[in-house]
């Protein structure tokens, strides 16, 4: 049998019985007329091939693309990668989810599942399969555990325990809420110490492979100016004096259309005069800093410790908690953190806003307390 698909390409399929050929021809005709036509060979494609097609077509930031590749390679392909995409059933997806839940946190499982579901939705839209086998499955919860900001004493201990080259980095993180990529991507031109401000215009990026480079911030809202406290400004001034910036040749991809190599004057290069990115280099520095901080806290009989799970991102949470404790508005916290929307800020820090003492009763009384109602 011969026919032309929706792209007017000639297709062929052989049958041993005329009745089977007639049934297939009738189905193809109806599917073409209704726009439901599926290439008979498309459902036979391995899921691995479909995932790679989705990755090539998706417009992702480099870090997001890298994360998707890694998650597919580790958590999808070993279990489902060789299965024909058209043969996947709801039960197959549920059994795979059960495996993930036995190993990964629910939030991580949710991210990986969401990406696989996006791939299969893409397969539906590209006429590879008729329906998404994820339909009807209760998605893993994306609810995050409540953020518990580090106590002030823990932050102070981390700053004191850090190698001198990185003390201002940790203090700036706690006093500005900048992400680690934004911090290590700072150049001298981004600091206005006379005005007490830091300008976020870029971030340093390191992928699993390749050299670090300068890229745009995470979102459009991440471009921002953050005011700095006097103590942070003084620490930065001393840091710049003690550790002068070393010219580094880095590729600048802040405009993806025109990547170019230029000289960057990073505020926080590492001890070798190279970019310090959140990779193995920084992980070792942070781990040792945390251990020394806890040793100092224990020696001082302090009742707190820096949790093993703590990371530089906890400095960002600490900064947010300070703003919220001082009754800054949701909009202000959002702008300082560079969140895309206030809802993102609320999603992470709602419980901290709820913990603030309710003073609305006193506020209303101050205004209306002198008004009496007479009958």
- The pLDDT, as a whole number, for residue 147 is 87
Please tell me the predicted confidence (pLDDT) of residue 17. Answer: 60
pLDDT confidence bin for 205, thresholds 50/70/90:
confident
For residue 296, the tally of other CB atoms under 10 A from its CB is: 15
The CATH architecture assigned to 152-355 reads Orthogonal Bundle (1.10)
pLDDT of residue 181 exceeding 80: yes
pLDDT at residue 364, as a whole number:
66
d(CA 259, CA 253): 5
pLDDT tens-digit map of 138-152: 988 877 778 899 999
* Average pLDDT along the chain: 86
Q: Which of 62-66, 84-88, 177-181, 183-187 has the lowest mean pLDDT?
A: 62-66
Integer CA distances (angstroms), 148 to 309, 311, 338, 348, in order? 12, 13, 20, 11
Global pTM value: 0.76
Instruction: Give percent of the chain above pLDDT 90.
Output: 59
Tokens 């280099």 correspond to 281
The pLDDT of residue 6: 47
Mean pLDDT of 247-258: 90
CATH 3.30.565.10 given to domain 42-125? no
Residue ranges matching CATH 1.10.150.130 in the chain? 42-125
For residue 363, is pLDDT > 70?
Answer: no
- CATH 1.10.443.10 positions along the chain are 152-355
What's the average model confidence in pLDDT over 108-112?
Answer: 93
Whether residue 234 has pLDDT greater than 80: yes
Cα distance between the two ends of the chain: 93
Burial 315-330 (b: 16+ CB within 10 A, else e): bbbbbbbbbbeeeeeb
Bigger pLDDT: 192 or 146? 192
pLDDT at 126 over 70: yes
Q: Which of 17-31, 247-261, 352-366 has the highest mean predicted lDDT (pLDDT)?
A: 247-261
């Amino acid at each position: 049998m011969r026919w032309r698909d929706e792209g007017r390409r000639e297709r062929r399929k052989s049958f041993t019985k005329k009745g089977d050929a007639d049934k297939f021809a009738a189905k193809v005709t109806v599917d073409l007329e209704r726009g439901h036509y599926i290439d008979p060979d498309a459902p036979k494609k391995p899921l691995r091939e479909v995932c790679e097609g989705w990755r090539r077509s998706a417009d992702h930031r480099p870090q997001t693309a890298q994360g998707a590749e890694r998650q597919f390679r580790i958590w999808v392909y070993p279990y489902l990668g060789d299965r024909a995409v058209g043969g996947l059933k709801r039960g197959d997806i549920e059994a795979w989810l059960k495996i993930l839940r036995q190993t990964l946190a629910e939030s991580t499982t949710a991210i990986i599942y969401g990406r696989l579901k996006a791939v299969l939705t893409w397969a539906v839209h590209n006429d590879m399969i008729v329906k998404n086998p994820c339909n009807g499955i209760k998605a893993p919860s994306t609810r995050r555990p409540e953020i518990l900001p580090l106590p002030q004493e823990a932050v102070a201990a981390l700053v004191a325990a850090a190698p001198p080259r990185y003390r201002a980095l940790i203090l700036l993180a706690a006093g500005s809420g900048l992400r680690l990529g934004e911090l290590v991507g700072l150049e001298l031109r981004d600091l206005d110490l006379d005005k007490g401000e830091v300008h976020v215009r870029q971030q340093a990026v390191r992928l699993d492979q390749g050299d670090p480079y300068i890229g745009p911030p995470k979102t459009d809202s991440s471009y921002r100016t953050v005011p700095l406290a006097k103590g942070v400004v003084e620490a930065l001034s001393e840091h710049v004096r003690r550790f002068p910036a070393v010219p580094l040749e880095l590729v600048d991809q802040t405009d993806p259309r025109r990547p170019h190599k230029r000289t960057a004057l990073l505020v926080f290069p590492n001890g070798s005069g190279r970019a310090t990115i959140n990779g193995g280099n920084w992980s070792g520095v942070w781990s040792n800093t945390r251990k020394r901080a806890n040793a100092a806290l224990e020696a001082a009989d302090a009742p707190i410790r820096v949790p093993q799970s703590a990371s530089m991102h906890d400095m960002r949470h600490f900064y947010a908690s300070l703003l919220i404790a001082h009754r800054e508005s949701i909009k202000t916290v959002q702008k300082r953190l560079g969140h895309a929307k206030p809802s993102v800020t609320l999603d992470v820090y709602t419980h901290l806003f709820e913990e603030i003492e309710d003073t609305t009763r006193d506020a209303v009384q101050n205004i209306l307390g002198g008004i009496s109602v007479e009958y």
